[in-house]
Amino acid sequence: MTQTHHRSHQKRAMPTLGATALICLIGPALAACSAAGSGAADRTGSVPQWDDKATPATVSRQMDIELPAKATDPRAARQNGFQDDGLLLAFTLPTSETDAFVEQLKPERELRERDKPRENPAKPMTPFSHLGLPEPESLPDVREGQVCAPCGGDLNSLVVAVHRLDDSNSRVYLRGVD
């Protein structure tokens, strides 16, 4: 009986030894893959991240847009992503100038007018809150629409929103994907 018990123990030990050998052979390879992955993340930093050097001038060039001469309070940001980068540009413009600005963008369709904030809007990947501004989706009295998708050059898409601030001024919001 002791001999039978011994054989049974040997049979159970063999798969355990095989599994141990497999772990010893594959383990270092998995560790190397894991280390390589973390090394790449260390070199690129966290993704997405905000580009501290973005300015209204650089972002408007990336969007292929000329900032209007009468624009005030221009704000811009660029968020470096893994594949695509997010571009934000916002400025205040006399309301009398907004139609001409939007027309020169040549949107795909006429802008939609929305008199109430959107209910339960999705949180954008590149939020205007980074610029200290409310999201256009959270505002009433907004005209918005797709300018282009795909666009020329490196720009993949561009969306515009215009919010009337008061009787004389409107804020223009532009969100692009590069």
Query: Tokens 């501290």 sit at which residue?
Result: 52
Regions of the chain with pLDDT less than 50: 17, 19-44
Q: Which residues contact 105 (CB under 8 A, 6 or more apart)?
A: 65, 147, 158, 160
The predicted structure's pLDDT at residue 47: 61
The predicted structure's pLDDT at residue 11: 52
The predicted structure's pLDDT at residue 5: 53
The predicted structure's pLDDT at residue 125: 76
The predicted structure's pLDDT at residue 21: 44
Cβ atoms of 132 and 126 within 8 Å: the answer is no
Bridging pattern class, strands 157-164 and 169-177: antiparallel
Q: What is the pTM of this model?
A: 0.73
The predicted structure's pLDDT at residue 123: 75
Task: Please state whether the peptide bond connecting residue 121 to the residue before it is cis, i.e. omega within 30 degrees of 0.
Answer: no
The predicted structure's pLDDT at residue 81: 86
Q: Running DSSP on this structure, what letter comes out for residue 137? A: G
The predicted structure's pLDDT at residue 118: 86
The predicted structure's pLDDT at residue 36: 42
